[in-house]
């Protein structure tokens, strides 16, 4: 699809931009990247580009806002006192600066693990409660992630590397990204180490191309093929499965390490949240 044709799409007619630090909608952020880059990955689905104006992830985002502000759990408190890195209840720009080290937990956390931590410590939920146990699909966790992450739409990825554990996680993620393993001897770089690679009809993003990589890591996003909104942890798990490597534990240090590395690779590029993906 030509850039001229893409410019002709009505970008702003259907929905307002998610509340956040910029007045751009996710599709406007993406189209700005398309205008500045000759990328088959960014333009491979005209239908997905058109869907972004009124995508199902907006429903998840709206429901997530209600859940965020509603007193819940055994302690009957909201998540407005949860600190995602910029102070209690401050969401604008928090997601693009994660994973990061949190002193109260003594570890590096991504959005999903930090959200679960606050749901436990502030609201009193346990791992056995459905609010935490149900991690994928049309769940509370996915809705909350979508709302929180959307407050960083259009802002540049800028994960901190000031704490030694932040650097260690990023470096461990780099090792993971390039390490070949499993019965197929695949690594993340097998699919994302060069331009022009495909899985069947799908064009794959090149991690060395910042414009492609920021779209690749912009989660939560509506997965058309799954008919569901997915988060970063789900993407990590699915990629590891596709490489035929050993199953990765949800929220583990290994999963956060790879997210730390892939976010650092997109540093300075604008987040596109919520996105639409194949």
Q: Which residues are part of the catalytic machinery?
A: 239
CB atoms within 10 A of CB 9: 15
What are the DSSP calls for the chain, one per residue? --HHHHHTS--SSS-PPPSSS-S--HHHHHHHHHHT---TTTTS-HHHHHHGGG-THHHHHHHHHHHHHS-BTTTTB-STT-BSSSSBT--TTTGGG-SEEETTTTEEE-HHHHHHHHHHHTT---TTSHHHH--SSS-HHHHHHHHHHHTTTTSBP-----SHHHHHHHHHHHHHHH--BTTTTB-HHHHHSSTT-EETTEEPPPTT-HHHHHHHT--SEEETTTTEEE-HHHHHHHHHHHTTPPPPPTT-HHHHHHHHHHHHHTTTSBP--SEEE-
Handedness of CA 139, 256, 96, 14 (dihedral sign): negative
- Residue 108 dihedral angles phi and psi, to the nearest 5°: -85, 130
Q: Is the distance from CB of 206 to CB of 193 less than 8 angstroms?
A: yes
Of 55, 84, 30, 46, whose CA–CA distance to 214 is shortest? Answer: 30
């Amino acid at each position: 699809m030509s850039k001229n044709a893409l410019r002709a799409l009505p970008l702003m007619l259907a929905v307002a931009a998610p509340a956040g630090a910029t007045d751009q909608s996710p599709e406007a952020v993406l189209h700005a990247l398309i205008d500045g880059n000759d990328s088959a990955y960014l333009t491979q689905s005209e239908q997905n580009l058109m869907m972004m104006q009124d995508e199902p992830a907006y429903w998840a985002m709206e429901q997530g806002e209600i859940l965020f502000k509603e007193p819940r759990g055994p302690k009957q408190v909201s998540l407005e006192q949860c600190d995602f890195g910029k102070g209690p209840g401050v969401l604008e720009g928090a997601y693009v600066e994660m994973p990061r080290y949190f002193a109260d937990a003594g570890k590096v956390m991504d959005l999903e693990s930090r959200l679960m931590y606050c749901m436990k410590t502030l609201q009193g939920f346990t791992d056995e409660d459905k609010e935490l146990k149900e991690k994928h699909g049309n769940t509370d966790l996915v809705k909350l992630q979508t709302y929180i992450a959307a407050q960083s739409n259009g802002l540049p990825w800028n994960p901190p590397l000031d704490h030694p554990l932040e650097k260690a996680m990023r470096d461990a993620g780099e090792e993971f990204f390039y390490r070949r393993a499993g019965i197929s001897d695949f690594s993340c770089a097998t699919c994302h180490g060069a331009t022009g690679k495909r899985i069947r009809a799908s064009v794959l993003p090149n991690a060395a191309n910042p414009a492609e990589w920021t779209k690749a890591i912009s989660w939560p996003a509506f997965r058309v093929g799954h008919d569901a909104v997915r988060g970063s942890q789900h993407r990590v798990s699915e990629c590891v499965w596709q490489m035929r490597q050993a199953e990765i534990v949800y929220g583990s240090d290994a999963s956060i390490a790879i997210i730390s590395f892939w976010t650092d690779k997109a540093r300075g590029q604008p987040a596109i949240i919520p996105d639409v993906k194949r």
